[in-house]
Amino acid sequence: MNLTEDAKQKLILGNERYLSGRLHAEGFGARMREELAEKGQKPGALIVCCSDSRVPPEIIFDQYPGDIFVVRTAGNVVDEIALGSIEYGVEHLSIPLVLVLGHENCGAVKATIEGEGGHGAVKAIIDKIKPSMEKHLGSADIYEDCTDENIRSTMEEIRKNAAVAALIREGRVEVAGAKYGIRSGKVCFF
């Protein structure tokens, strides 16, 4: 198994522990904080996910602090600042897996579909999601289809970043997608 597969497997197993209620990442305390301060961080995965407070990646993947590098934005969309964080993670921390994690009942997707919240800085989020919605106008399940398309769109935008693209070509980074079920707690990888 390579580093990317190892990272993905660790997330899958963590989500299974979360679903079963048998979490191992509960005992974080002074000793672990001291160790992280001394040794620094060496996360195995970078997760780009929504700011939604119901989608805490450290918990749904049962990971300790230092295990995952997280970039959170409403609607799991990326801009130059988010891409800078991703570049830092893959270049300087050598993180092999970038996972774009969307979720059911995303407020940013809903606002885009229902035409709400298109003013101020929120408009930039809506504008990023709008092409995903437009691909699925008339769909019987536009919310789910738009959510999935938005995840794919963010994955593609990350893959087009020059630094990430170079590492993908070298076989050092993979960009993957997944969706979290808020009701079920299950993460389904694409």
pLDDT digits (tens, 9 = 90+) for 94-111: 999 999 999 999 999 999
Q: Is pLDDT of 116 > 80?
A: no
**Mean pLDDT, residues 36-55:** 94
Residue 153 identity (one-letter amino acid): S
Q: Which of the two residues, 136 and 178, has the higher pLDDT score?
A: 178
- Looking at every residue in the chain, the average pLDDT score rounds to 93
3-189 to CATH, choices 3.30.450.20, 3.40.50.920, 3.40.1050.10, 3.20.20.60? 3.40.1050.10
- 25 has pLDDT over 80: no
Q: Which two tokens stand for residue 165?
A: 């693209």
Cα–Cα distance for residue pair 117/166, rounded to 1 Å = 36
Residue 83 and residue 10: Cα distance in Å, rounded? 24
Write down the domain spans for the chain.
3-189
**Over residues 26-52, mean pLDDT:** 88
